[in-house]
Amino acid sequence: MLNSPQDGKEAPLLPPLSPALKGRKCLVLDLDETLVHSSFKLIPQADYVVPVEIEWQWHNVYVIKRPGVDAFLKRMGELYEVVVFTASLSKYADPVLDKLDVHKVVSHRLFRESCYLHKGNYVKDLSQLGRPIGETIILDNSPASYIFHPNNAVPVSSWFNDPHDTELTDMSPFLADLTEVSDIRGVLDGGV
């Protein structure tokens, strides 16, 4: 994990943009409480159960998908280079994403070790991705996650289990429109 943005890294977090995605902006998606909700407590209607080893003991993590997440990911994968950037550990997030990414649209996965620990919060520093900052959007339920780049953020409410939530579906047309904007920071003024 990185401690401050001043550390500077020789290599960006992401490899060069794939030729198949040339011309696309980068959409960074948070995982927990944005796309899914997970719990160690039994959730009878869980979409899947992921076994995770923590301190040499296996625990079941019960995962429910936010309404509309499958169609949302599919659509965003048609428009963007999709990156899931989570402050969670890969041993939990990787198997969740293996099940969640049914359309295979997530180009890259970044985990806690790629975050900066800043004032007790895990911050996702978009300037370290290796993508033009004016073409990088982050969708996250935690404002602390994008504190370095509020003008790149599309805030989303935290989701736990509301079966009537429509936020991802409602957000799709707006995100589709952003693909036509040369510098998204002029649209996303940090106060959306």
Catalytic residues: 30, 32
Report in angstroms the alpha-carbon separations of 138 from 48, 56, 159.
Answer: 26, 34, 17
| CA pseudo-torsion sign 111, 117, 123, 128 | negative
| CA pseudo-torsion sign 147, 149, 155, 158 | negative
Cα(28)–Cα(13) distance, rounded to whole angstroms? 12
Cα(91)–Cα(107) distance, rounded to whole angstroms? 18
Give per-residue burial for 151-161: e unless 16+ CB within 10 Å, then b.
bbbbbbeebee
